[in-house]
Amino acid sequence: MEAKGRPVQNDCSFSGVSPLMLPFPYPPTKVQEQNQFYANLLTMDYCGSVSELTAITQYIHGESCMCCEHCTQAKTLIGIAMAEMMHLQKLAELIILLGGSINFAVPTRSGRPQMWTPEYVNMTGGMSGIISSNIEAERAAISQYEQHMRMIEDSCVNAVLARIVQDEEYHIMLLQMMQG
């Protein structure tokens, strides 16, 4: 029998980590009227390839890869993931109010829903790659939100989306600071 080496331990604690978002309140979660088209657009933001669900999963993957060697940066990724979870919840509320449903599938033109898949997550390794891929993902999310705000003629919905965009811009700033 071989002698066992010393135990290996991760001392990175996430106790006290809070969502990393701007300290401004969100507008009320309400809609002017039900609109299935708008609900479908927000479902893309909720669980499409560029979505809050994808972002959460990608940040948690990055944190898992970094926590043993880069605890401070891993805590930042978890804080951002927590903010993305709050965005996911806001989108779910809007989708329901608009008359949609939450089923982790994006309606397609063919009528066949496209289920969310972990294939959407960039599994890049290494701190530099993880940070860069998350900056790219935040920029893509902002672009998609801005496109959807141009298509949605509901000031209540757009106010919430605009507030989410502010957080996404803040996340880019935090990630860029991590790059050095």
* Per-residue model confidence as pLDDT tens for the chain (180 residues): 566 778 777 788 888 899 999 999 999 999 999 999 999 999 999 999 999 999 999 999 999 999 889 999 999 999 999 999 999 999 999 999 999 999 999 988 888 899 999 999 999 889 999 999 999 999 999 999 999 999 999 999 999 999 999 999 999 999 999 997
Q: What is the pLDDT of residue 4?
A: 76
pTM for the model stands at: 0.93
For the chain, domains (ranges, CATH) are 36-179 (1.20.1260.10)
Q: What is the pLDDT of residue 11?
A: 80
Instruction: Report the C-alpha gap between 179 and 104 in whole angstroms.
Output: 33
Name the DSSP class of 49.
S
Q: Evaluate whether 76 touches 134 at the Cβ level (below 8 Å).
A: no
Q: What is the pLDDT of residue 3?
A: 62
Going from the C-alpha of 132 to that of each of 55, 72, 176, the distances in angstroms are 13, 17, 8
